[in-house]
Structure 1
Amino acid sequence: MKVDVLAEAVIAASCGHVAACAADPANAPEWYSNITSVDWLTPPPVAVGSKVAFVARFLGRRLAYTYEITAYEPGRRMVMRTAQGPFPMETTYTWEPYGEDADRTRMTPPQSGRAQRVRLDRRRRDGGGHTARAAQGPGSPQGAPGGAPLNADLTWAEGLRRRLWPS
């Protein structure tokens, strides 16, 4: 089954500032709670063909994968696909000016991938969004508890806000 996750947030900073921070994979552990480490496999900065190794926590387990940048329009869009990993994934970040004075940024980081038993939990979360959760039963990732969050909520947006404006 293919799973598509779409979340977006409006961030009170210029599009260029938000995009520069979010498009640099080295910043990901500071604003995306599931990412624990990032290693460049090709020299920075980001460009089409760049490869970056990520380690994340997913369903209570360590997940290591390599993303390749397949499209990059600075300040507008970045697409990464797994070049190596346990299953195919794609992440597309988009940034667009938002607001009357275009002084804010609308950021959308949809992710898609293949997973076996996934359902959408329609209970409202703090931000009013929905979260995808793994279902128990045959085909569930081994050792993954039924109902473990896939982090499809907006915790990434709060992390990015903290990265842009530390207390």
Structure 2
Amino acid sequence: MDDGRADFDFFIGRWRVHHHRLVGRLVGSTRWEDFAGVTETRKILGGLGNMDENVLELPAGTYQAVTVRLFDPARGLWTIYWIDGRQTAVDPPMIGRFADGVGEFFGDDTLEGRAVRVRFRWFVDDQDHCRWEQAFSPDGEQTWETNWTMAFERG
């Protein structure tokens, strides 16, 4: 079935991750930090979803997190939830789909009490390499600041 439910099938398995994260968000920062991580993804709900477990090796200390992705066949949309192990809270959902080989997902959140629009993008380079990026917009999607990228390599 090609309704979108297989869009994240490329991501099933174990990945080494190179994180590249902007140190200060929406403050004009140009300083980035790099760190490693590991992600392992599996299907759930008979293929209507997937989840990954993440180990992020931040310079300030390692932590764990989980992503849960659920597909709505009626709307053809994915909803993505991030659960940060340091706070054990679920971030606001990101909603979107893949089109022309790129996944775009949008949601609303706050940064230090300030409303921001959030965008995730997924790029599949080949069966063993993919990329993710996160950007924030403080002005209703007029401008975007990319603040985190991840490069994934299978293994």
Q: TM-score range by the shorter chain?
A: 0.3 to 0.5
| Greater relative contact order (CA < 8 Å, ≥ 6 in sequence) | 1
Which structure carries more strand by proportion?
A: 2
Give the TM-score taking structure 1 as reference length. Answer: 0.41
Which structure carries more helix by proportion?
A: 1
